[in-house]
Structure 1
Amino acid sequence: MVGAKTFVLACALAVLLCVSNVDAAFKCYDCIGTSSSDSCSDEFTKSSSLESSSANCEACTKTKLSGVVTRGCSPVAIGNDCTTSGDDASCTCNSELCNGSNNMAVSMATLLGATLVVFFSNI
Protein backbone atom coordinates (compact mmCIF):
# COMPACT_ATOMS: atom_id res chain seq x y z
CA MET A 1 0.00 0.00 0.00
CA VAL A 2 1.26 3.45 -0.89
CA GLY A 3 1.75 5.81 2.06
CA ALA A 4 -0.01 9.16 2.38
CA LYS A 5 3.22 11.14 1.85
CA THR A 6 4.01 9.19 -1.31
CA PHE A 7 0.51 9.77 -2.64
CA VAL A 8 0.68 13.53 -1.94
CA LEU A 9 4.11 13.76 -3.63
CA ALA A 10 2.88 11.87 -6.69
CA CYS A 11 -0.20 14.15 -6.94
CA ALA A 12 1.93 17.28 -6.60
CA LEU A 13 4.29 16.12 -9.35
CA ALA A 14 1.35 15.25 -11.60
CA VAL A 15 -0.08 18.76 -11.13
CA LEU A 16 3.32 20.30 -11.98
CA LEU A 17 3.40 18.28 -15.19
CA CYS A 18 0.00 19.66 -16.20
CA VAL A 19 0.66 23.32 -15.37
CA SER A 20 1.03 25.52 -18.42
CA ASN A 21 1.91 29.13 -18.94
CA VAL A 22 -1.16 31.38 -19.13
CA ASP A 23 0.49 33.53 -21.82
CA ALA A 24 -0.74 32.28 -25.21
CA ALA A 25 2.49 33.23 -26.97
CA PHE A 26 5.37 30.74 -26.77
CA LYS A 27 8.82 32.39 -26.32
CA CYS A 28 12.10 31.45 -28.01
CA TYR A 29 15.36 33.27 -28.62
CA ASP A 30 15.40 34.57 -32.20
CA CYS A 31 18.68 35.61 -33.83
CA ILE A 32 21.38 34.83 -36.41
CA GLY A 33 25.11 34.93 -35.65
CA THR A 34 28.38 34.13 -37.38
CA SER A 35 31.30 34.68 -34.98
CA SER A 36 32.16 34.10 -31.31
CA SER A 37 31.79 37.85 -30.65
CA ASP A 38 28.30 37.93 -32.17
CA SER A 39 25.32 38.06 -29.78
CA CYS A 40 23.85 34.88 -31.34
CA SER A 41 27.03 32.83 -31.60
CA ASP A 42 27.40 29.30 -30.26
CA GLU A 43 28.69 30.75 -26.95
CA PHE A 44 25.37 32.48 -26.28
CA THR A 45 24.61 35.14 -23.66
CA LYS A 46 20.88 35.15 -22.95
CA SER A 47 19.25 38.52 -23.47
CA SER A 48 15.64 39.65 -23.27
CA SER A 49 16.24 41.75 -26.39
CA LEU A 50 16.61 38.49 -28.36
CA GLU A 51 13.35 36.98 -27.03
CA SER A 52 10.57 36.55 -29.53
CA SER A 53 7.05 35.24 -28.99
CA SER A 54 4.43 33.94 -31.34
CA ALA A 55 1.01 32.35 -30.97
CA ASN A 56 1.88 29.79 -33.70
CA CYS A 57 5.17 28.78 -32.11
CA GLU A 58 5.22 25.23 -30.71
CA ALA A 59 8.98 24.63 -30.24
CA CYS A 60 12.32 26.44 -30.18
CA THR A 61 15.15 25.67 -32.58
CA LYS A 62 18.91 26.12 -32.70
CA THR A 63 20.79 25.36 -35.92
CA LYS A 64 24.49 25.61 -36.72
CA LEU A 65 25.36 25.31 -40.42
CA SER A 66 28.79 26.26 -41.81
CA GLY A 67 29.55 28.25 -38.65
CA VAL A 68 26.31 30.27 -38.76
CA VAL A 69 24.14 29.85 -35.64
CA THR A 70 20.42 30.50 -35.95
CA ARG A 71 17.95 30.46 -33.08
CA GLY A 72 14.22 30.72 -33.64
CA CYS A 73 10.74 29.32 -33.41
CA SER A 74 9.09 26.35 -35.11
CA PRO A 75 5.35 26.01 -35.72
CA VAL A 76 5.72 22.24 -35.30
CA ALA A 77 6.41 20.59 -31.91
CA ILE A 78 9.02 17.98 -32.84
CA GLY A 79 10.21 17.26 -29.30
CA ASN A 80 13.60 17.48 -27.63
CA ASP A 81 16.11 16.24 -30.17
CA CYS A 82 19.42 17.10 -31.82
CA THR A 83 20.99 15.81 -35.00
CA THR A 84 24.61 16.43 -35.90
CA SER A 85 26.80 15.99 -38.95
CA GLY A 86 30.40 17.06 -38.46
CA ASP A 87 30.37 20.61 -37.08
CA ASP A 88 26.77 21.19 -38.18
CA ALA A 89 23.85 20.61 -35.81
CA SER A 90 20.11 21.11 -35.63
CA CYS A 91 18.23 20.98 -32.32
CA THR A 92 14.62 21.45 -31.24
CA CYS A 93 13.15 21.71 -27.76
CA ASN A 94 9.64 22.24 -26.43
CA SER A 95 9.96 24.51 -23.40
CA GLU A 96 10.08 28.29 -23.49
CA LEU A 97 13.47 29.91 -24.13
CA CYS A 98 15.13 26.48 -24.21
CA ASN A 99 17.21 27.35 -27.29
CA GLY A 100 19.55 29.59 -25.30
CA SER A 101 22.05 26.99 -24.17
CA ASN A 102 24.78 24.99 -25.85
CA ASN A 103 23.11 21.82 -24.57
CA MET A 104 19.40 22.02 -25.29
CA ALA A 105 17.25 21.92 -22.18
CA VAL A 106 15.65 18.75 -20.90
CA SER A 107 11.90 19.16 -20.54
CA MET A 108 10.25 19.48 -17.13
CA ALA A 109 8.24 16.32 -17.83
CA THR A 110 11.45 14.33 -18.36
CA LEU A 111 12.97 15.61 -15.11
CA LEU A 112 9.84 14.95 -13.06
CA GLY A 113 9.38 11.51 -14.62
CA ALA A 114 12.94 10.56 -13.73
CA THR A 115 12.39 11.84 -10.17
CA LEU A 116 9.29 9.67 -9.81
CA VAL A 117 11.12 6.58 -11.07
CA VAL A 118 13.97 7.11 -8.58
CA PHE A 119 11.58 7.86 -5.73
CA PHE A 120 9.32 4.87 -6.30
CA SER A 121 12.21 2.48 -6.91
CA ASN A 122 13.45 3.23 -3.37
CA ILE A 123 10.14 2.42 -1.64
Structure 2
Amino acid sequence: MTTEESANLATVRAYIKALESGAVGEALASFSTSDAVQIELPNKLNPQGGQSDLPTLLMRAEQGQKLLQHQTYKVRSEVAQNSTVAVEAEWSAVMAVPIASLPAGATMRAHFAMFFEFSEGRISRQRNYDCFDPW
Protein backbone atom coordinates (compact mmCIF):
# COMPACT_ATOMS: atom_id res chain seq x y z
CA MET A 1 0.00 0.00 0.00
CA THR A 2 1.36 3.43 -0.93
CA THR A 3 1.70 6.30 1.52
CA GLU A 4 -1.22 8.08 -0.19
CA GLU A 5 -3.44 5.00 0.07
CA SER A 6 -2.57 4.56 3.76
CA ALA A 7 -3.33 8.22 4.44
CA ASN A 8 -6.66 8.04 2.60
CA LEU A 9 -7.64 4.90 4.50
CA ALA A 10 -6.74 6.57 7.80
CA THR A 11 -8.90 9.57 6.84
CA VAL A 12 -11.89 7.34 6.07
CA ARG A 13 -11.46 5.50 9.37
CA ALA A 14 -11.35 8.82 11.25
CA TYR A 15 -14.36 10.10 9.27
CA ILE A 16 -16.40 7.02 10.20
CA LYS A 17 -15.43 7.46 13.87
CA ALA A 18 -16.50 11.12 13.64
CA LEU A 19 -19.87 10.10 12.17
CA GLU A 20 -20.26 7.51 14.90
CA SER A 21 -19.56 10.07 17.62
CA GLY A 22 -22.08 12.53 16.18
CA ALA A 23 -19.64 15.11 14.81
CA VAL A 24 -21.21 18.11 13.09
CA GLY A 25 -20.06 21.41 11.63
CA GLU A 26 -16.34 22.00 11.10
CA ALA A 27 -15.46 18.76 12.91
CA LEU A 28 -17.19 16.89 10.09
CA ALA A 29 -16.41 19.32 7.26
CA SER A 30 -12.67 19.01 7.89
CA PHE A 31 -12.64 15.58 6.19
CA SER A 32 -14.00 16.89 2.89
CA THR A 33 -13.11 19.26 0.10
CA SER A 34 -15.29 22.37 -0.13
CA ASP A 35 -16.90 21.01 -3.31
CA ALA A 36 -17.47 17.49 -1.96
CA VAL A 37 -20.50 15.53 -3.15
CA GLN A 38 -22.22 12.51 -1.62
CA ILE A 39 -24.33 10.30 -3.86
CA GLU A 40 -26.84 8.05 -2.13
CA LEU A 41 -28.19 5.26 -4.31
CA PRO A 42 -31.89 4.40 -3.90
CA ASN A 43 -32.72 2.56 -0.67
CA LYS A 44 -35.57 1.99 1.77
CA LEU A 45 -35.17 5.36 3.50
CA ASN A 46 -34.52 7.29 0.31
CA PRO A 47 -36.27 5.44 -2.56
CA GLN A 48 -35.23 8.03 -5.14
CA GLY A 49 -31.63 8.24 -3.96
CA GLY A 50 -30.04 11.65 -4.00
CA GLN A 51 -27.02 13.86 -4.20
CA SER A 52 -25.81 16.22 -1.48
CA ASP A 53 -23.19 18.95 -1.50
CA LEU A 54 -21.13 19.69 1.62
CA PRO A 55 -23.54 22.24 3.17
CA THR A 56 -26.39 19.74 2.73
CA LEU A 57 -24.30 16.94 4.25
CA LEU A 58 -23.56 19.10 7.28
CA MET A 59 -27.24 20.02 7.64
CA ARG A 60 -28.20 16.33 7.45
CA ALA A 61 -25.64 15.48 10.15
CA GLU A 62 -27.28 18.03 12.46
CA GLN A 63 -30.73 16.66 11.66
CA GLY A 64 -29.42 13.17 12.47
CA GLN A 65 -28.66 14.37 15.99
CA LYS A 66 -32.41 14.74 16.51
CA LEU A 67 -33.32 11.38 14.94
CA LEU A 68 -30.71 9.08 16.51
CA GLN A 69 -29.75 8.43 20.10
CA HIS A 70 -26.48 6.96 18.86
CA GLN A 71 -25.04 5.03 15.93
CA THR A 72 -22.24 2.53 15.37
CA TYR A 73 -20.33 1.29 12.36
CA LYS A 74 -18.66 -2.11 12.27
CA VAL A 75 -16.24 -2.17 9.35
CA ARG A 76 -16.22 -5.57 7.63
CA SER A 77 -13.71 -4.82 4.88
CA GLU A 78 -11.78 -1.93 3.43
CA VAL A 79 -9.68 -1.47 0.31
CA ALA A 80 -7.55 1.48 -0.76
CA GLN A 81 -6.41 1.83 -4.36
CA ASN A 82 -4.87 5.00 -5.72
CA SER A 83 -7.22 7.85 -4.72
CA THR A 84 -10.20 5.61 -3.87
CA VAL A 85 -11.17 3.85 -0.64
CA ALA A 86 -13.99 1.28 -0.47
CA VAL A 87 -15.56 0.26 2.83
CA GLU A 88 -18.12 -2.40 3.66
CA ALA A 89 -19.74 -1.79 7.04
CA GLU A 90 -22.62 -2.84 9.23
CA TRP A 91 -24.45 0.14 10.69
CA SER A 92 -26.86 0.27 13.58
CA ALA A 93 -28.60 3.16 15.27
CA VAL A 94 -30.94 3.53 18.19
CA MET A 95 -33.80 5.77 17.17
CA ALA A 96 -34.55 8.89 19.20
CA VAL A 97 -37.92 9.28 17.48
CA PRO A 98 -40.28 6.84 15.76
CA ILE A 99 -39.60 6.22 12.07
CA ALA A 100 -42.00 4.16 9.97
CA SER A 101 -42.85 1.12 12.11
CA LEU A 102 -39.84 1.55 14.42
CA PRO A 103 -40.65 3.15 17.78
CA ALA A 104 -38.25 5.47 19.59
CA GLY A 105 -35.62 3.30 21.30
CA ALA A 106 -35.69 0.65 18.57
CA THR A 107 -32.56 -0.25 16.63
CA MET A 108 -32.35 0.28 12.87
CA ARG A 109 -29.72 -1.78 11.04
CA ALA A 110 -28.18 -1.58 7.59
CA HIS A 111 -25.31 -2.87 5.49
CA PHE A 112 -23.33 -0.16 3.73
CA ALA A 113 -20.92 -0.16 0.83
CA MET A 114 -19.23 3.24 0.69
CA PHE A 115 -16.80 4.43 -1.95
CA PHE A 116 -14.70 7.50 -1.25
CA GLU A 117 -12.71 9.45 -3.83
CA PHE A 118 -9.95 11.76 -2.63
CA SER A 119 -8.48 15.03 -3.80
CA GLU A 120 -5.48 16.55 -2.01
CA GLY A 121 -5.96 14.30 1.02
CA ARG A 122 -9.65 15.02 1.54
CA ILE A 123 -12.88 13.29 0.55
CA SER A 124 -14.20 14.83 -2.67
CA ARG A 125 -16.87 12.29 -3.57
CA GLN A 126 -18.72 9.59 -1.64
CA ARG A 127 -21.11 7.00 -3.08
CA ASN A 128 -23.29 5.01 -0.69
CA TYR A 129 -25.08 1.76 -1.41
CA ASP A 130 -27.24 1.30 1.69
CA CYS A 131 -29.21 -1.89 2.32
CA PHE A 132 -31.52 -1.62 5.33
CA ASP A 133 -32.74 -4.61 7.30
CA PRO A 134 -36.53 -5.00 7.24
CA TRP A 135 -38.64 -3.09 9.73
Q: Using structure 2 for the length normalisation, give the TM-score.
A: 0.25
Going by fraction, where is strand more abundant, 1 or 2?
2
Q: Using structure 1 for the length normalisation, give the TM-score.
A: 0.26
